[in-house]
Amino acid sequence: MQARHVMSSPVTTVDRSTSVDECLQLVGSSGFTVLPVVDERKHLVGIVSEGDLLRARFRELGGADSQPDEMTAGDVMASPVVAMTADAEVSELASAMLRSRLRCIPIVHDHDILGIVTRPDLIAVLTTDDAQVAKEVQHRLDVYGGAGRWRVDVAHGSASIFGVTPDDPERNVIAALADTVPGIAEVHFPPESTSPGGR
């Protein structure tokens, strides 16, 4: 399973000049515990965590004379940032988080932020049951094409969709619908003869 399948998107970002207070408000309203910092080209240049922001805020409160200017994201951000691409495997993300004690990893393409993967995202993947994933895929296909038109089986993140012929014009749409379900890493169209209960 790849980062694209588990990342949250779009991502709330800030720039270097965003004040610590504004960052704290964004953390509170977005539900994320980290905020990527971007430059004028929207390229990733750093990251601030709620811990960084709280420490900075309390330093401001405790030492106004030594901190005459309001601190910004640029003052407290961590840089460089550990980031990965959308095709990074979940195992790579988990290893990087554990090795570097990270709470999240931004997902980028040429420095542009596509999404972000957090520890809760990885926990959700690890605790997702194949039957639940199959039920969600089946639901989306039923809504799109009508109940019972296709049948779905999921094993270890691999979806097998039965009832789709090789020349079916909707084949790509069906694959795309299944691929958007969290927990799906790949989609297959087995021959009808291999269908559960098939002849």
Parent domain of 132: 128-188
Q: Is residue 123 part of a domain?
A: no
- How distant, in Å, are the alpha carbons of 44, 84, 85 from that of 54? 22, 27, 29
Q: Is residue 96 part of a domain?
A: no
91-125 tens-digit pLDDT? 899 899 988 888 889 999 988 999 999 888 888 77
**Among candidate residues 96, 3, 83, the one with its CA nearest the CA of residue 43:** 83
For residues 22 and 79, state if they share a domain.
yes
Kindly report the CATH number assigned to the domain that includes residue 134: 3.30.1340
* Residues sharing a CB contact under 8 Å with residue 187, sequence separation 6 or more, in sequence order: 158, 159, 161, 174, 175, 178, 179
53-92 tens-digit pLDDT? 998 888 767 654 545 468 899 999 999 989 999 999 888 9
State the maximum Cα–Cα separation within the chain, in Å, rounded to a whole number. Answer: 81
For residues 139 and 178, state if they share a domain.
yes
157-175 tens-digit pLDDT? 889 999 999 999 999 999 9
Crossing angle of the two packed helices 20-30 and 50-62, in degrees rounded to 10: 140
Number of domains in the chain: 2
Instruction: Kindly state the tokens that stand for 37.
Output: 């910092």
For residues 62 and 138, state if they share a domain.
no
Q: Is residue 72 part of a domain?
A: yes
pLDDT of residue 193: 47
For residues 72 and 132, state if they share a domain.
no
Whole-number average pLDDT of the chain: 86
